[in-house]
Amino acid sequence: MRKKSKLCLTVTEPTIKEAVAVVDRYKKNLDMVELRADYLADDEIGYASAFPRLAGIGEVILTIRREIDGGKFRGGEGDRVNLFNRALKGDFSFVDLESDFFNEPLERKIRDKNIRIIRSLHYFKGLPPDMSSVVNDLAHNGKNIPKLAVYPKSTEDLLKIFLLSKEFKGREKIILGMGDYGISTRILAEYLGNYLTFVSSPGNSAAPGHIDIEKVEKIYRFKELDETTKILGVIGNPIMHTLSPLIHNTGIKAIGVNAVYLPFMVDKPAAFMKLAEEIGITGFSVTVPHKVSIIRFLDSVDDSVKKIGACNTVYKRNGKWFGTNTDADGFIGPIKNLLKRNGNNLKASVIGAGGAAMAVVYALWREGISFLVLNRTVEKAKRLGNQFGGEWAGLDEIGARRMKDFNDLIVQATKVGMEPDENSDPFPMYKFTGNEIVYDLVYKPEVTKFLERARSAGCRTIGGKEMLFEQAKRQFKIFIGRDFPLIDLEL
Ligand code: ATR
């Protein structure tokens, strides 16, 4: 039986002392450490041999990575051989040697000392041709642990990495994808049958896409994942800023189910659907820009998707893909009590006419609340207003006046005010009376300029994090089949 994938901290400190301190901090969660001696200062690198003893951790990899392979070592190969020879006086368990590095005396010495060679190829241009032969060559008939680090540039590339791993199932290997497209290959090391996964200390990423050890442990529960773990995720582009993995994985951890929720950078939804089938993904969230384009890949969608024209939740039941949209319910969540108190006597305004506004307008329509849509491009406000039997206006003087008749609830559904545009206000012409309830869907920053202005006028305000959390809770119920646990979640 193959041993479980190990968690290996890559240490990139400039001194041995600092390197040891980092290992000490994370020791209890680590299986191995990789000393990136190329990061050591010139007057420290000569003491690399002392590191394994001082670090006091079972297994240490010695790596002196050249610049062309993504490292910092600038010297010639003769210097590197000398440094390896000096460092190997220490008790290292593995040495990383690149695929084009050959030095018979050094390799003999490494073998004589019973040190394993990790034979590596770092390919930054994408995927190298004929990856199977590359891995076979690196493995050298099982003598070495082959490490192939590629740089997937598309979802199709990511799929190829998973297929390659399948080809080498049961064999010792490290096959990983760098960069945003490759994140899942680092977290799913156990699924891929990788010997180890590399992590960094927070803020010290040693390679593109390295995840930090705190996230890997606390959010992704690396050690608990196995081949039977239910795989969920979120697709989008960009994707690394999303808070969804934090929300879902925190819920998963709290109720103790064997599942993990990953960020998937996706360029083409078609390729992701192939990947989902290949690795057995059973549910995923959908974010910008795929909420509309995903629909044609689904077997069926519910009314919310049909009316909003966008899908944010996909799940599999009896071998078929279903789509729903939890944004409308998620939007209503934080104002449920308000609606209960006021019935549909409320009059609401929605600023914006894009995808987010569409879900809001659909929710208001479903609740029987009359509304006014205001948008910079008036034509779009008109279209959305008419579609759901509401009023419409532009973001101008006339709009500001009309909004006074629809101001019990004001919903800000554009991106204006979102980082890095924190100083913008989508509708400065409108002066709050202090009686409005103002709901801004932007969640970064937590209090937008628009909300700040509303607060100063005395309005009750609701920030975008509430909707984000509410829509995620509904997805969680669909994906996991249980209610999101009652926990305090700091987003
Ligand atoms: P989303 O799916 O997040 O709603 P979207 O579909 O691109 O994103 O819609 C963006 C919304 O923000 C639109 O209503 C857009 O107005 P236009 O239809 O006139 O483009 C609005 N928006 C973007 N930038 C804006 C700005 N500077 N001022 C006012 N509205 C803006």
Q: Digits of tens for pLDDT over the chain (491 positions)? A: 567 999 999 999 999 999 999 999 999 999 999 999 999 999 999 999 999 999 999 899 999 999 999 999 999 999 999 999 999 999 999 999 999 999 999 999 999 999 999 999 999 999 999 999 999 999 999 999 999 999 999 999 999 999 999 999 999 999 999 999 999 999 999 999 999 999 999 988 888 889 999 999 999 999 999 989 999 999 999 999 899 999 999 999 999 999 999 999 999 999 999 999 999 999 999 999 999 999 999 999 999 999 999 999 999 999 999 999 999 999 999 999 999 998 778 999 999 999 999 999 999 999 999 999 999 999 999 999 999 999 999 999 999 999 999 999 999 999 999 999 999 999 999 999 999 999 999 999 999 999 999 999 999 999 999 999 999 999 999 999 999 999 888 87
Residue nearest atom 9 in ligand 1 by C-alpha distance: 354
- DSSP letter for 217, please: I
Q: Would you please indicate which residues are annotated as catalytic (active-site) residues?
A: 291
- DSSP letter for 148, please: E
pTM: 0.94
Helices (H), 269-372: 269-279, 303-308, 327-332, 336-342, 355-366
In 358-406, DSSP assigns E strands to 370-375, 391-394
Ligand 1 centroid to Cα of residue 165, in Å, is: 42
pLDDT at residue 207, rounded to an integer: 84
pLDDT at residue 395, rounded to an integer: 98
Question: Residue 351 CA: which ligand 1 atom is closest?
Answer: 14
Strand partners, 174: 147
Question: Residue 380 CA: which ligand 1 atom is closest?
Answer: 18
pLDDT at residue 343, rounded to an integer: 79
Cα(445)–Cα(99) distance, rounded to whole angstroms? 46
Residue nearest atom 8 in ligand 1 by C-alpha distance: 354
Residue nearest atom 25 in ligand 1 by C-alpha distance: 416
pLDDT at residue 344, rounded to an integer: 79
Q: Following CA atoms 27, 24, 56, 58 in sequence, which dihedral angle do they give, to the nearest 10 degrees?
A: 20
Cα(316)–Cα(480) distance, rounded to whole angstroms? 12
Is the CB of residue 154 less than 8 Å from the CB of residue 101? no
Residues in Cβ contact with 141 at an 8 Å cutoff, skipping those fewer than 6 apart: none
Ligand 1 is surrounded, with C-beta below 6 A, by 352-357, 375-377, 380, 395, 414-416, 426
Whole-number CA gyration radius for the chain: 27
Question: Residue 310 CA: which ligand 1 atom is closest?
Answer: 2
Residue nearest atom 5 in ligand 1 by C-alpha distance: 354
